[in-house]
Chain A
Amino acid sequence: MSKIGWKENRTVYTFLRPEGRIKNKILWKENVVAYTFLGPALLLLSMFLVIPSIMSVYYAFTDYYLLTPNMRTFVGLDNFINLFQDPIFLKSLVNTLEFVVWVIPLQIGAALGLALLLNKQRKANTFFKVAYFSPVVMSLVVISVLWLYLLNPNEGIINNVLTYFGISAQPFLTSPKQAIFTIVVVSAWQGAGFQMLIFLAGLQNIPGDVYEAAQLDGMNKWQRFIYITLPLLKPTSIFIFITTLIGAFKLLVQPMVMTQGGPVNSTMTVVYYIYQTGFTDRMVGYASSIALLFGTIIGLVTITQRKLVKEDED
């Protein structure tokens, strides 16, 4: 039962998409029932996410210093004016975008590739799935520490393997040019297992008869992939794209553990900078203004992306 064929699924969706357009009068009683169901979640979300976020929005317009919480004053747009003159913030914005631009195709591509490989009946599939998924289960801090050892430019295992194959040793995380790409690769490696599973489920929801029909029509493997698999995977891909995108924008732990934002600020990301200004430098007001601006940027990107995809579909 839990396997949902793509066809029903799509119908359900086109049927439900105009949620807002349900014109029927909503009964008072229906509201009571629905809000009872929503109640616990809404209460907890507002207490621990919405209210703190609103507080942060307010802090963005104050000079809140972490050690003197009762002495904050309203400073208007000062924080934002400083923000646009702050070279490290601008650099962190560029770095984050660079990270996002590289990691999205790499991670999603890797995930899709793995899913395609596993999309077959095989006895050992469980083992492979567990193997590919294991970095997702391990804590990010653990992963980052391990890679730090492995990527040591002098005696790290990775460089030993490279030199074995005749490639000269690379500086990786210690080079301003390579550091961000190294983090891209480690992040993609770490997260791909999760997206792989989503793709895999999407793939397994494609009914076998569609392929058989296509085979009868004389399509080869590649054509089937392009004309059947990819289009039918679209809803899955959109979901993956959105969640991976938001996740990538929030990159923090890997640079924090592996490079502390260096060398020469080349891996300073926005969320890391928020953390640094807010907690290390104790400028909560300033950090909140970065968070607000950055949240707006991610929001806009997500909305645009959703709009684009929808128009494309209609």
Chain B
Amino acid sequence: MRRKFGPLTILEYICLVLLAVLFIFPLFWMVASSMKPEAEIYNNMSNIKAFLPSFHPSDWFVSYNQVLLRFHLLVYIGNSLFYGLCVAVGSIIINGMAGYAFAKLNFSGKKVLFGLLLAILIVPFETILISQFTIIHSIGLVDTRLAVILPTLAGAFNIYLFRNFFMAIPTEIIESAKLDGANTWQVFWRVMLPMSKPAVATVGTLAFIGSWNDYIWPLMVLTDKSKFPIQVAITAINSTDPVYTNQVMAVLTISTVPLIIIYIVAQRYILEGIGGSGTGIK
């Protein structure tokens, strides 16, 4: 059924490429700006050179060098990776379990709880920060890594997503697993999760991105700087006068690249994961 190269196909490709340019150019600008001296960024602002690194390759990594000298970036990145991975793994298990209960188990109060879950989607997080902090404080977790991780583990959207994915798995499969002697946990761990790799990838990646990009919450609960995540460093660089735009861009590049890589790796799964939920939700 595949068409040969016709004028329409060419038109399509032109469209695709133009759109790709439209979506990706800020990324290029960010990377290019990190690879040139401060003054060049502004002098180039009005032409195509804005998207090209400096013409002197010796300038390319100067800002990276400076940033690495000024800040203990590696510690911050290490911390961010740690938080991101914990949050990703934790969200998969905790939200997966809840999603499974909503999808395949019977219990009293299901409808009410599910309605509540939807209501939680609406809460703007920014408004409850201080109350969240009081709770972390009252359970004695201030300035621990756990305080960064715990509040971000359970999420209504992710439970919702798992629920819809699990619902689409035929009940017969569960029944037959049970006949083989599996208990509910084993059904969940050995049948449901492996059959939902896309959902797992989606929740994991979204949780990782969310944790990676969080700034205010970690800063609020941590005082020991050896536990700070990368976003704190970015903020510090961005708000210390004088601000060096090329250094800011270098840090931003350093902090964005891992996300892009994770996305590329996970994208095959993500696509299917979101799709599985998308087709199901009413």
Residues of chain A at the chain B interface (Cβ within 8 Å): 1-4, 6, 8-9, 12-13, 16-17, 19-20, 22, 24, 26, 30-31, 33-35, 37-38, 40-42, 44-45, 47-53, 55-56, 66, 114, 117-118, 121, 124, 126-135, 137-140, 142-143, 146-147, 149-150, 152, 155-157, 160, 189, 193, 197-202, 204-205, 235-236, 238-240, 242-243, 246, 249-250, 252, 271, 274-275, 278, 284, 287-288, 291, 295, 298-299, 302, 306, 309-310
Contacts and interface: CB of A to CB of B under 8 A. Distances in A.
Nearest to B209: A137
Q: Chain A interface mostly helix, strand, loop or mixed?
A: helix
B157 A38 contact: no
A131 B275 contact: no
Given A47-B135, A126-B267, A193-B23, A138 B256 contact: yes
Contacts of B276: 2, 4, 201
A18 to B, nearest CB: 10
B50 interface: yes
Contacts of B130: 66, 284
Nearest to A299: B122
A246 B121 contact: yes
B274 A48 contact: no
A19 B122 contact: no
A285 to B, nearest CB: 12
Contact of A200 (B102, B118, B275): B275
Given A9-B280, A51-B135, A235-B282, A3 B272 contact: yes
B120 to A, nearest CB: 5
Nearest to A34: B107
Contacts of B127: 56, 271, 274-275, 278, 287-288, 291
Contact of A24 (B12, B106, B197): B106
Q: Which of A33, A155, A239, A252 has the most CB of B within 10 A?
A: A239
Nearest to A49: B120
Nearest to A310: B282
A271 B123 CA distance: 10
A312 to B, nearest CB: 11
Nearest to A200: B271
A127 B94 contact: no
Contact of A33 (B105, B113, B198, B273): B105
